[in-house]
């Protein structure tokens, strides 16, 4: 039986006739696509749980799977224990509305370290990408007909023409920067990513190279200040600023917001710096490829195996885990892909941890502004600024990140301010993506999956009120109203929706506070201080217990770096035991 998510709030169809029509269409499409009526077996599913392994990984997020693959590849007998019924953590594909496969949490790939593709032979294990060009579309709400829009892509001349609509001067700035990658249009333009940001090595002992002075301002400044130095047109600045506040309870005017932008442009796909792509089959297909690599080396991977406790021996070192059903597994290494809070405040016996460490973990900033909405639609949105042709075929902008309520920086700041008052933004910042435009396998013919990454929504509403069904639906309606203003007819095209507020993200994915990165990517919680100062090198106060997820350096995003680094550190210790 397929699980029905408690957060899923299917929206009534626009009318009985439409419902009947779509029902027939979806039923046929399901059969035509051969969609499974039950859960797919995952790689390594046939393995039998053993009482003893060399290493146990708690959680099958992409980082846990990466860690397992590297460990097993090095000859360390490894088991991965995932509490959910699917692999991938926040990098997952779920068919939450029949016939529609959603990248339910993360939805775009760029940051995965190239070394990991290579080492784990992810292409051989089935990973396929759909790169996007153009990649960003910002339609305007304005009285003129048609309204203007800003389309950014890899074609330099065309992108300059687009920018020149709003500022000829900004188009020239781009030209002087070389302007051949999305990365080059950003404020980090003259700045190569700082090597220790990209995080394939653990942070301690790093040399601060020549690039540091150049990078320092981008890392520490409010992104608004950096962007103001480069550009003058508001739509361009606001579009670029979205990557600086994504997932952060921060305004473009918040110091340190520059870092988050840098984090989002330091990826590289198929040799193209800063490029982002959809994963064929959704983000879960990436996790699946990593799991295949791990299983091919011999790792055992299990779902629906929640870990209840880390076992600590008389010598004070980790010696295995206990599952929720009481089963105990012995292992010399325990790596936790769960958040630092869950790992150290819930799974680890508290008497094994220094009280100061426990306090620091308890005080981590996990505020998050994100509500993710996944919508199934019966047709492509048609934007006023670039209407869809009658034949319904996608236009280039449909493959982009569509930025809504993004006309100027003041809108972004106001959306943030609302959340500070305990209110979901009146005009939320919306990043709308339609991966099925490039990957039709995700939805029945003619239909699409729409990913809506929205902010700002507080974890708790004004007056300490929790989110209830009514608040959740009201917020989703507000987001849909906003989309309707840019793309009339959108609301009527919606077949179903899945709304994940910060508490839902916490409950479904185990993300503390709903924070998409396991903890804020603020300057005080990065590098040498992630998750806390003195324990930034993946080890913990309990020998043999390691953190291998995004709560560790270099943080969130589908990067795999934390998993790979942690495996390296654990392996060193294993060899010395």
Ligand X SMILES: Cc1cc2nc3c(=O)[nH]c(=O)nc-3n(C[C@H](O)[C@H](O)[C@H](O)COP(=O)(O)OP(=O)(O)OC[C@H]3O[C@@H](n4cnc5c(N)ncnc54)[C@H](O)[C@@H]3O)c2cc1C
Q: Of the candidates 43, 44, 64, 203, which one interacts with ligand X according to CB under 6 A?
A: 64
327-332 long-range contacts, Cβ below 8 Å, gap at least 24? 327/49, 328/51, 329/49, 329/50, 329/51, 329/52, 329/53, 329/56, 329/79, 329/81, 330/51, 330/52, 330/53, 331/52, 331/53, 331/54, 331/55, 331/56, 331/79, 332/54, 332/55, 332/544, 332/574, 332/577
In the complex, what is the shortest distance from the CB of residue 181 to ligand X, in angstroms, rounded to a whole number? 18
Instruction: Compare residues 388 and 522 and give the one whose CB is closer to ligand X.
Output: 522
Instruction: Compare residues 449 and 516 and give the one whose CB is closer to ligand X.
Output: 516
Q: Of the candidates 42, 62, 398, 497, which one interacts with ligand X according to CB under 6 A?
A: 62
Are 558 and 111 in contact by the 8 Å Cβ rule? The answer is yes
Per the listing, tokens 């942690």 go with 566
How many residues are present in the chain? 577
In the complex, what is the shortest distance from the CB of residue 100 to ligand X, in angstroms, rounded to a whole number? 17
Which 449-478 residues touch ligand X, going by CB under 6 A?
Answer: 453
Instruction: Compare residues 173 and 334 and give the one whose CB is closer to ligand X.
Output: 334
Identify how many contiguous H helices and E strands the chain contains and give both numbers: 18, 20
In the complex, what is the shortest distance from the CB of residue 66 to ligand X, in angstroms, rounded to a whole number? 8
Are 474 and 346 in contact by the 8 Å Cβ rule? The answer is no
* Region near ligand X per CB under 6 A, out of 2-10, 185-193, 483-491, 506-514: 506-514
Q: What is the DSSP letter of 88?
A: B
Instruction: Compare residues 91 and 536 and give the one whose CB is closer to ligand X.
Output: 91
Site string for ligand X, 74-93 (x = CB under 6 A): -------xxxx----xxx--
Q: Of the candidates 366, 404, 556, 574, which one interacts with ligand X according to CB under 6 A?
A: 556
Instruction: Compare residues 166 and 416 and give the one whose CB is closer to ligand X.
Output: 416
In the complex, what is the shortest distance from the CB of residue 60 to ligand X, in angstroms, rounded to a whole number? 5
Give the distance, in angstroms, between the CA of residue 363 and the centroid of all CA atoms in the same chain.
Answer: 23
> Strand pairing partners for 323?
307
Which 193-252 residues touch ligand X, going by CB under 6 A?
Answer: none
In the complex, what is the shortest distance from the CB of residue 552 to ligand X, in angstroms, rounded to a whole number? 8
What is d(CA 553, CA 2) in angstroms, rounded to the nearest whole number? 35
Q: Of the candidates 449, 516, 561, 567, which one interacts with ligand X according to CB under 6 A?
A: 516
In the complex, what is the shortest distance from the CB of residue 256 to ligand X, in angstroms, rounded to a whole number? 18
What is d(CA 532, CA 526) in angstroms, rounded to the nearest whole number? 9
Q: Which residues, in sequence order, are CB contacts of 451 under 8 Å at separation 6+?
A: 102, 103, 107, 372, 374, 432, 433, 434, 435
Which 325-364 residues touch ligand X, going by CB under 6 A?
Answer: 337-338, 342
What residues line the site for ligand X (CB under 6 A)? Answer: 58-64, 81-84, 89-91, 105-108, 111, 306-307, 337-338, 342, 370, 372, 453, 505, 509-511, 516-517, 549-550, 556-558, 562
């Amino acid at each position: 039986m397929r699980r029905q998510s408690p957060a899923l709030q299917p929206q009534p169809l626009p009318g009985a006739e439409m419902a009947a029509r779509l029902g027939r269409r979806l039923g046929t499409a399901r059969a035509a696509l051969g969609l499974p009526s039950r859960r797919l077996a995952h790689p390594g599913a046939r393995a039998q749980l053993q009482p003893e392994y060399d290493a146990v990984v708690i959680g099958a997020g992409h980082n846990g799977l990466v860690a397992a693959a590297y460990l097993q590849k090095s000859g360390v007998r490894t088991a991965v224990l995932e509490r959910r019924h699917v692999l991938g953590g926040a990098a997952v594909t779920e068919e939450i509305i029949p016939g529609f496969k959603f990248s339910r949490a993360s939805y775009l790939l760029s940051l995965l370290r190239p070394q990991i593709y290579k080492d784990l032979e992810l292409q051989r294990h089935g990973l396929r990408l759909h790169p996007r060009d153009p990649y960003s579309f910002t339609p305007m709400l304005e009285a003129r007909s048609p309204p203007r829009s800003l389309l950014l892509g890899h074609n330099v001349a065309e992108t300059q023409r687009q920018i020149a609509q709003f500022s000829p001067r900004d188009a020239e700035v781009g030209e002087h920067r070389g302007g051949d990658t999305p990365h080059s249009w950003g404020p980090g333009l003259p700045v190569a990513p700082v090597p220790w940001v990209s995080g394939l090595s653990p942070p301690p002992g790093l040399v601060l190279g020549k690039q540091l002075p150049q990078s320092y301002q981008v890392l520490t400044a409010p992104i608004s200040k950096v962007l103001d130095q480069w550009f003058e047109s508001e739509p361009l600045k606001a579009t670029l600023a979205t990557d600086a506040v994504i997932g952060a309870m921060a305004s473009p005017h918040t110091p340190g917001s520059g870092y988050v932008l840098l984090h989002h442009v330091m990826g590289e796909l198929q040799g193209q710096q800063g490029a982002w792509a959809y994963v064929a089959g959704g983000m879960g297909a990436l996790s699946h490829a990593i799991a295949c690599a791990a299983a091919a080396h011999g790792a055992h991977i299990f779902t629906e195996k929640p870990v209840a406790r880390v076992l600590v021996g008389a010598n004070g070192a980790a010696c295995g885990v206990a599952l929720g059903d009481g089963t105990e597994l012995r292992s010399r290494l325990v790596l936790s892909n769960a958040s630092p809070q869950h790992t150290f405040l819930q799974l680890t016996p508290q008497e094994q941890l220094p009280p100061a460490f426990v306090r620091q973990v308890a005080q981590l900033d996990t505020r998050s502004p994100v509500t993710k909405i996944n919508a199934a639609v019966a047709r492509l949105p048609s934007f006023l600024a670039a209407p869809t042709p009658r034949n319904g075929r996608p236009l280039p902008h449909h493959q982009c990140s569509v930025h809504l309520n993004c006309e100027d920086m003041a809108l972004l700041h106001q959306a943030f301010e609302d959340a500070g008052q305990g209110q979901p933004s009146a005009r939320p910042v919306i990043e709308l993506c339609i991966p099925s435009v490039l990957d039709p396998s995700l939805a029945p013919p003619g239909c699409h999956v729409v990913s809506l990454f929205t902010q700002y929504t507080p974890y708790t509403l004004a007056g300490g009120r929790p989110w209830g069904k009514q608040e959740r639906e009201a917020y989703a309606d507000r987001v849909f109203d906003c989309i309707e203003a840019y793309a009339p007819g959108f609301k009527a095209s919606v077949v179903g929706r899945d709304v994940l507020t910060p508490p839902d993200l916490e409950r479904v994915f185990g993300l503390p506070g709903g924070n998409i990165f396991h903890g804020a990517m603020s300057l005080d919680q990065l590098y040498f201080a992630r998750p806390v100062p003195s324990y930034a090198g993946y080890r913990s106060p309990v020998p043999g217990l390691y953190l291998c997820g995004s709560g560790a350096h270099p943080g969130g995003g589908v990067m795999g770096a934390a998993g790979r680094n942690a495996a390296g550190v654990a392996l060193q210790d294993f060899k010395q035991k």
